Chains A and B, each alone.
Chain A
Amino acid sequence: MAKFVVNGKSVEAKADPDMPLLWVLREKLGLTGTKFGCGIAQCLACTVHIEGQPVPSCQIPVKDVEGVQITTIEGVGGKTLHPVQKAWIEGNVPQCGYCQSGIIMAAIALLEQNSEPSDAEIDSAIGNICRCGTYPYVRKAIHAAAKLKRATPGAIS
Chain B
Amino acid sequence: MTTTRRNFLTLSASVGSSIAFNLALPSMAFSAGKNGNIPQEITSWITVHDDNRVTVRIPQIELGQGITTALTQVIAEEINLELSLTDWEFYDPLTNYNRKNVYVHTYSGGSFGMRMLFSPMRIAGAQIKEMLLLAAARRWNTDARGLVIKNHHVMNPATSTSVGFGKLSEIASTIPIPDPSKVKTTAQKDWRYIGKPIPRSDAYDKSTGKAIYGIDLKLPGMKYAAVKQCPVFGGNLVSFDSTAIKSYQGVQKVVAIKAGPSGYTVPPFFYEVIDWRMDDAVAVVADSWWEAQRALDALPIVWDEGENKDVSSTQIEQKINNELMTQGEVIRQEGDVDSALLKAEKTIQSRYHYPFLEHAALEPMNCTALIENGRVEAWAATQYGDEALRITAYAAGVAPYNAKFNLMLAGGSFGRRLHSDYVSQAVQIAKEMEGVPIKLIWSREENMQRSFYAPVMTTDFTGGIDADGNITAWKSHVCQGRSVYQPYTMSRMVYPVPNIKIEYSTVNTPPPYAWMRGVGHTQALWMYHGFVSELAELAGMDSLSFQLKLLDEKKVSKTAPEYYNLEIASTYEDAVSRIKKFRERLLHVVEKMDNKSDPNHRGSVGYAVFDMSYAPGLGASIVAIAIEIEMSENHSTLKIKNVVASVDCGLAVNPQLVETQVAGAIVFGLSNALYGEITLDNGRVEQSNFHDYPILRLKDTPSIDVHIASSDATLPSGIGEGAVPVVIAALVDAIHTAGGPKVRRLPILKNDISLSA
Contacts and interface: CB of A to CB of B under 8 A. Distances in A.
Chain A bound to chain B = yes
Interface of A: 15-16, 19-20, 23, 26-28, 30-40, 42-43, 45, 72-74, 77, 81, 85, 88-89, 92-101, 104, 122-124, 126-139
B444 A72 contact: no
11 contacts: A15-B288, A16-B291, A35-B362, A35-B363, A37-B363, A85-B207, A94-B206, A129-B697, A130-B667, A131-B695, A136-B703
Nearest to A127: B697
A73 B667 CA distance: 26
Contact of B664 (A73, A89, A126, A134): A134
Interface residues of B, number: 63
B207 A104 contact: yes
Contacts of A88: 203, 207
B697 A89 contact: no
A128 B362 CA distance: 11
Interface string B215-259: 110100000100000000000000000000000011000000000
Contacts of A134: 660, 664
A132 B517 CA distance: 11
B199 interface: yes
Interface string B623-641: 0000000000000000000
B701 interface: yes
B698 A98 contact: no
B601 interface: no
Contact of A94 (B207, B414, B691, B698): B207
Nearest to B691: A42
Interface string B334-368: 00000000000000000000000000111110000
Interface of B: 62-66, 199-200, 202-213, 215-216, 218, 224, 249-250, 288-291, 360-364, 409-414, 441, 443-444, 656, 660, 663-668, 671, 689-691, 695-699, 701, 703-704
B443 A39 contact: yes
Contact of B206 (A28, A100, A128): A100
A52 to B, nearest CB: 18
A95 B690 contact: no
Nearest to A91: B203
Contact of B288 (A23, A72, A101): A23
A131 B362 contact: yes
Task: Name A's interface SS.
Answer: loop
B207 A100 contact: yes
Given A19-B290, A27-B224, A135-B701, A37 B209 contact: no
A64 to B, nearest CB: 15
Given A32-B209, A132-B664, A139-B698, A43 B203 contact: no
Contacts of B691: 40, 42
Contact of B66 (A27, A40, A95, A131): A95
Nearest to A92: B200
A124 B699 CA distance: 7
Nearest to B63: A96
A100 to B, nearest CB: 5
B288 A19 contact: yes
Contacts of B362: 35, 37, 43, 45, 96, 98-99, 129-131
A139 B690 CA distance: 22
Contacts of A27: 224, 288-290
Contacts of B667: 130, 132-133, 135-136
A141 to B, nearest CB: 9
B570 to A, nearest CB: 34
Given A98-B362, A136-B704, A34 B289 contact: no
B360 A135 contact: no
B726 to A, nearest CB: 14
A92 B202 CA distance: 9
A43 B447 CA distance: 14
Contacts of B689: 38-40, 42
Contacts of A23: 288-290
Contacts of B204: 89
Contact of B208 (A28, A30, A38, A85): A85
A141 B360 CA distance: 25
Contacts of B199: 89, 92
Q: Which of B200, B209, B411, B443 has the most CB of A within 10 A?
A: B209
A98 B660 contact: no
Contact of A39 (B208, B291, B444, B701): B444
Contacts of A30: 218
A96 B410 contact: yes
A129 B690 contact: yes
A135 B698 contact: yes
A66 to B, nearest CB: 18
Nearest to A105: B209
A15 B697 CA distance: 34
